[in-house]
Amino acid sequence: MDQKLFQAAAKIRDLPNLPAIPLAAQEILAALRKESLTIPQLVAVIEGDPALMSRIISVANSAYFGARERIYSVSDAITRVLGTNNVFSIALSVVLAGPFKANKCPGFHLEVYWAEALKTAILAQTFAQRSKNRDPEMDKKAYLCGLLHNIGLLVLAHVFPTKISQVFSIETAEPTRDIAEVEERIIGIDRRHAGALLAKKWNLPDDLYAVLEHHHDVSYRGDFWQLNLLVGLCATCARDLSRGKPCEITQEQVEPLNLTLDEAKECVESIRGKITEIHKMALMLAMN
């Protein structure tokens, strides 16, 4: 680790005002590790936070899901629209992102952050469900890891607001630049390493830690490599969708995920047709 990266990493690890993991997240993760997270437990945690409860119910009522009848409770959001896994993933992601004050960073837009996260999560879940060797565990992890894959950006916006704002300016002017290289040059650390440091500090699950650090490394073959590959590909597609560009997926990219190229392209186009609805959901998640 070079000196600049070491200093930036140390600043993130040791920063006095880097938030502690929220209590609600601790409760959800503790139950998850014991494999004892029940619907009543999840409902109780969410209802203990009125702002979180409002977001979950708003998402369940969003046009994206097209519920036939209006949802008024977290329990109904789980059983009638979203399902336990998606509610758990959204709730945990919102709670984990909550302590970061990214609004102090010029050029940072929380609704854009959530729109990218949602597109990545929806694609990852859809790809996992369409896989020929469908793995129920991959189904569960794909949505959460998609939602949280870029949380390191929130860390950088919280800790280095002025510097990450400079990164945004360069990204806007030169959209094809390697953003990790720009972040390393200006800050000393990129968002993936920042996310991994946060995961270690907060003792997040190993699969999530691996995705935060390695999701854009297509050569990575360590633990949870398929999940990493899945989220990395979907994050790239989500970014292309946000820029109105075609997603240039290749057969070589989807083969390790046990998908055909046609299936992958079909999934991407189905998301492209719901961009407006996804952005409306992102606004709901970005509410203070």
Q: Which of 47-56, 100-109, 275-284 has the lowest mean pLDDT?
A: 100-109
Q: Are 230 and 129 in contact (CB under 8 A)?
A: no
pLDDT at 94 over 90: yes
pLDDT at 149 over 70: yes
For residue 160, what are its two tokens? Answer: 């280095």
For residue 38, what are its two tokens? Answer: 């029940």
pLDDT score recorded for residue 3: 60
Return the closest-CA partner of residue 119 out of 156, 149, 157.
149
pLDDT score recorded for residue 232: 95
Return the closest-CA partner of residue 121 out of 207, 200, 227.
227
d(CA 258, CA 89): 24
Pairwise pLDDT comparison (157 vs 38), residue with the higher score: 157
d(CA 187, CA 245): 29
pTM above 0.75, yes or no: yes
Residues 6+ apart with CB under 8 A from 20: 99
Share of the chain above pLDDT 90, in %: 59
Find the mean pLDDT for residues 157-171.
91
Q: Are 137 and 82 in contact (CB under 8 A)?
A: no
